[in-house]
Structure 1
């Protein structure tokens, strides 16, 4: 019973860590993104392979060209072993940019293949490999403009309403 409870708590913390990461990327909140990783984590994404500091610099260069990003995580599974957990998360990312399509407006299907470990009572990513499964152009004729006065998300302002 105690081991089942410990596993449920670990799964909950892992889920919160994944969601915190996505929120950090979409809001361009460096502290939130960084809080998902152990300081010595290794990350492989697209053409990038390196540590957390270099990853954030790479990521900011990519997403700063976008006017917005929105990440959705769907299926997540965790396989625990005595040293940590292998976690696979499926997701979809919507990306908008000022550049004309297809460069700026994409919908991407991806998977995070993460190795989580617990240190100092916190479950964080120790290793991440991102697998891109598909990309689709979000074409301008298919977009519907937001009416004036409609609230929308604002980067850099956590909790903005």
Structure 2
């Protein structure tokens, strides 16, 4: 196969991996999230968490418990591939609505994922992910309003299997990559 074609296919597989991460995080789908990392992968969220990715995923239910809304949006993706190893700098806008003592607060983070990927057994997965925050906006109380008349009757997204997407898709199965 032409080297450029293989590189394009590898970049697409990695891009799909990045998007699957966002979906799994937003839906609190820890089974799917676990499948995106190699067993020996590491994750570095700064002083919040740094260590084995599987240990981080084990903590996710507690970390995400106060998060009423998670919404990751990937923008710029830069990927370099060298055989079965690749690196990526992925820009992300991540919105969080968090339950706090005083009600709810909004946190919008503009940042980047600094990733290392490895292709093992013909499948690309994360081998390391570092989170970099470039800016953040915190608003308390929350400015999110899902009860406005303009959204009345809308299907409202939510974490977990009660999200409308779980019952809708046949091909984009939840809980798997």
Counterparts in 2 of 1:8-157, with a 5 A limit? 8-47=8-47, 48-99=49-100, 104-140=105-141, 142-147=143-148, 148-157=152-161
Equivalent pair of 2:105/2:141 in contact (CA under 8 Å): no
Normalising by structure 2, what TM-score?
0.81
Count of residues paired in the alignment: 161
Distance 1:119 1:7, change over 3 A: same
Report the Cα distance in structure 2 between the residues aligned to 1:93 and 1:39, rounded to whole angstroms. 25
- Structure 1 unaligned blocks of 5 or more: none
Offset at 1:96?
0.7
- Which segment is superposed worse, 132-141 or 70-79? 132-141
Bigger mean CA deviation after superposition, 144-153 or 66-75: 144-153
Deviation at 1:68, TM superposition (A): 1.1
Q: Which runs of 5+ in 2 are unaligned?
A: 169-177
Instruction: Report the TM-score, using the length of structure 1 for normalisation.
Output: 0.89
Cα RMSD of the aligned pairs, angstroms, is: 2.2
